[in-house]
Each structure stands twice: as structure tokens, then as C-alpha cells.
Amino acid sequence: MPSTVYRAPRLSALAAVLLAAWAWMGQEAWAAPLDPPATDPVLQLLQDKGLVSKESAAEGNTLVRQVRDVASELVLSAMNFLGVPYKRGGDSADDGFDCSGFTRHIFEMSLGLVLPRRVDDQASASGLVRIRREELRPGDLVFFNTLRRTFSHVGIYIGEGKFIHAPRTGSEVRIEDMRQAYWDRRFTGARRAETTGSAVQGATPGPEKAERKAAPAR
């Protein structure tokens, strides 16, 4: 696994601040360009809450922009679990998550969609549609070949080329960049929920002829 990781602050408090700021400012204000760090009201709120220091205002400004751009319930829900430990077979914040347990928990909690438990079954589930990499939007599932299987790892795309996932034993839920060589070589496809209705039913896995076959994991 790559060692360079984009680490955002824990988002339980940050998400609450951002959502409160969104309600206070109105959605139209979120679409407006950011002011310089000294006058941006959301960044000021983050600084007042101690989530971004004045010394790291530029970095905080970038974070605010990225979270604003992808401010959906699903993405913010996922980011609330940053730092939760990885646990093989885990599917809760109390016990920890593995990759598919994490995506299943977020989709059920945010959209009411019950995904299959296994990664490869999530990739072939009815109710999810295939999308190309250039069509990715925040909240889409992204799949990777990390165990010499086309669909052996899954995460949630959050925008700006980044995704959130539960990586591996000894790690924790975190954000990484899909453009890093490791992940770029192993990307094998993406899926988007086509409805926000009832449970997604598992489908019989079939050949993924239109998908790119990633390089085998090393």
C-alpha cells in the first residue's frame, strides 16, 4: 500500500460545522467563489471551533473548498467515520470496518440502499449502474484490484480525484488520491446508485467485459 495519504481532520465536528454553516449561509452562498482566507465565513467558523489553525489557513481554505464542492449527505456521512479502525468482517463504527462493510454501512445509512456484503457482489448488484472514470461524481462507488481479483477493494468517491475507504488491517478509514500510481493502476470500475428507493438486491456476478483490468497487486 502507498505510504502517502491525504489525512483530513476527524469530521464529526467538522461535518456539523459545515452543515450548520450551509444552513446559515444558504445554498447559493456555497456556490460562490471563496473569499481570501481572512474573510471567508466558513473558514472563520472552522478556525473558531479550533478545527483549522490560523497558521494553516491556506490548507484549511482548500479543505473547505473541496468539502463545499462535494457537500452531500452521503459524503459527509462517510467522512464522519474517518479514523475508525479497520477490522476484517467489520461493518460498524463500534467494531470497525472492512472496505465493503464501510460502503454497505454508508449506503444503507444515507440512502436506505442495502448493498450486498461482498465487494464483487456490490460491483454487480442491481440498482447500481456502471459509469466511466471521467463521469465520477461524489458518492459513487469505486473499485480496485488489490488481491489479484478484478473487484477486491471498494471505496466511495468524494471529489477532486480522492476517495474514502477502509484500507487494510492495522489501518483506519482514511482519504486517498486515486491518481496515485498504486490506485491508478488498480482501478477497475465505478458504480452509481440509480435510485434512492428500497434495498438493492444482489445480482449474479457476470463478466465485466467493458471494464479495465487492473494490474495485479504486488
Residues annotated as catalytic are 99, 153, 165
Beta bridge partners of 191: 130, 141
Is residue 83 over pLDDT 80? yes
**Domains contained in the chain, number:** 2
Q: Are residues 134 and 164 in the same domain?
A: yes
Q: Which residue has the higher pLDDT, 176 or 24?
A: 176
CA 49 to chain centre: 24
Q: Are residues 90 and 176 in the same domain?
A: yes
Query: What pLDDT, on the 0 to 100 scale, is given for residue 46?
Result: 53
- Percentage of residues in the chain with pLDDT exceeding 70? 56
Strand intervals (E) in 160-198: 162-165, 174-177, 187-193
Is residue 7 over pLDDT 90? no
Is residue 123 over pLDDT 70? yes
Angstrom distance (rounded) from CA 47 to CA 26: 20
- DSSP secondary-structure letter at 104? H
**Lookup: cell for 46:** 472552522
Q: Are residues 107 and 59 in the same domain?
A: no
Q: Are residues 161 and 125 in the same domain?
A: yes
Q: Are residues 117 and 189 in the same domain?
A: yes
**For residue 75, which amino acid is it?**
V
Report, as an integer, the average pLDDT of 129-146.
Answer: 95
Query: What pLDDT, on the 0 to 100 scale, is given for residue 100?
Result: 98
Q: What are the CA-CA distances from residue 24 to residues 17, 80, 134, 165 (Å)? A: 10, 21, 33, 30
Query: What pLDDT, on the 0 to 100 scale, is given for residue 155?
Result: 98
φ, ψ dihedrals at 12, nearest 5°: -60, -50
Report, as an integer, the average pLDDT of 88-100.
Answer: 96
Mean of all residue pLDDT scores within the chain: 74
Query: What pLDDT, on the 0 to 100 scale, is given for residue 28?
Result: 40
pTM above 0.85, yes or no: no
**For residue 9, which amino acid is it?**
P
Is residue 150 over pLDDT 50? yes
Residue 51 lies inside a defined structural domain of this protein: yes
Report, as an integer, the average pLDDT of 126-154.
Answer: 94
Q: Are residues 97 and 178 in the same domain?
A: yes
Closest CA to 211 of 143, 163, 153, 141: 143
List the domain range (segments joined by +) for residue 29: 11-69
Closest CA to 175 of 162, 186, 185: 162
Q: Are residues 89 and 60 in the same domain?
A: no
Q: Are residues 91 and 185 in the same domain?
A: yes
Angstrom distance (rounded) from CA 66 to CA 42: 12
Q: Are residues 104 and 184 in the same domain?
A: yes
